[in-house]
Amino acid sequence: MKTIAITGASGFVGTSLRDFFGNLGYKILPIKREVLDNKKELENIVSSSDIIINLAGANIINRWSDEYKKLLYSSRIDTTKKIVNAINSVENKPNILISTSAVGIYDNKHRYDEKGDFSNDFLSNLCQTWEDEAKKANTKVSIFRFGIILGKNGGALAKMMLPFKLGLGGIIGSGKQSFSYIHIDDLLNAYKFVIENCIEDTFNLTAPEPTTNYGLTKALGKALNRPTIFPVPEFALKLIFSEGAKVLTDGQEAIPKKLLDLGFKFKYNNIQETVNSLV
């Protein structure tokens, strides 16, 4: 029986991973915040784990005040440093560290595989630093650059469903911005695939066919049989989220080339398939 230790284990993805791998017979060790601040206890968990999954990070969809930017940074970078230091300090090291990043690392000018061009803004620089810290671990390291994760029990879709069910859904801003997403089931199976094969690389965790905000809106409207005529103006989002509105109004178009090249099979390839399975 292999052991997986997880930071951010109480979040949407973390809870899904705990249930998924628990059902497959893995032993799951959540790394709680208080453990991260206890060097000895953290090292004990790390040295007794075969796999470390690093998910910790404050919610990116929020108002980015200067204070919140510091939280976004510390919750990712400082946590990752502690995990990496623990890995490098123990004799019995895990086989692999899978650390999180996001497709927000790319600019929005082209469709990109994992070799795409990076942007030069707060989110991209945060992701770049996050990835660099994870790669300092003296074991195999894989980076998972998440698109927007769509699932029934949490994440972005859960927050969007009510207005759409009420017929109040609509595009965000122009609706032309790219929307790279992944079904939670495909995300979980990608973790399984990389863990079972112990692959060290950087992966886009996105569906093979990215869409736009307009494409998502229409897919939701069709699946729910509801109108989608109420757009959310960009200026309103900026009033609510300030710079953080970029997450909603300035999407990246990313494709999972490395997973596809390795023969990974996605169950949900396009946005309509994905949405239909979740509503």
pLDDT in tens, 186-233: 999 999 999 999 999 999 999 999 999 999 999 999 999 998 888 888
Q: Which of 117, 83, 114 is nearest to 98 (CA)?
A: 83
The reported pLDDT for the residue numbered 237 is: 77
Per-residue model confidence as pLDDT tens digits over 233-261: 887 778 777 777 777 788 899 999 999 99
54 and 8 Cβ atoms separated by less than 8 Å: yes
The reported pLDDT for the residue numbered 19 is: 97
**Count of domains for the chain:** 1
For residues 52 and 30, give the distance between their C-alpha atoms in angstroms, rounded to a whole number.
10
Query: Per-residue pLDDT averaged across 106-127, rounded?
Result: 95
Query: What CATH number is given to the structural domain containing 141?
Result: 3.40.50.720
Question: What type of residue sits at position 151?
Answer: G
Query: 172 pLDDT band (50/70/90 cuts)?
Result: confident
- Res 130 pLDDT > 80: yes
Query: Per-residue pLDDT averaged across 98-119, rounded?
Result: 96
Residue numbers of the domain that contains 120: 3-215+220-276
Query: 106 pLDDT band (50/70/90 cuts)?
Result: very high
The reported pLDDT for the residue numbered 239 is: 79
The reported pLDDT for the residue numbered 165 is: 87
Alpha helices, DSSP H, located in 105-204: 122-134, 155-165, 184-197
Query: 157 pLDDT band (50/70/90 cuts)?
Result: confident
**55-69, 200-214, 260-274: which range is least confident on average?**
55-69
Query: 3 pLDDT band (50/70/90 cuts)?
Result: very high
For residues 73 and 244, give the distance between their C-alpha atoms in angstroms, rounded to a whole number.
14
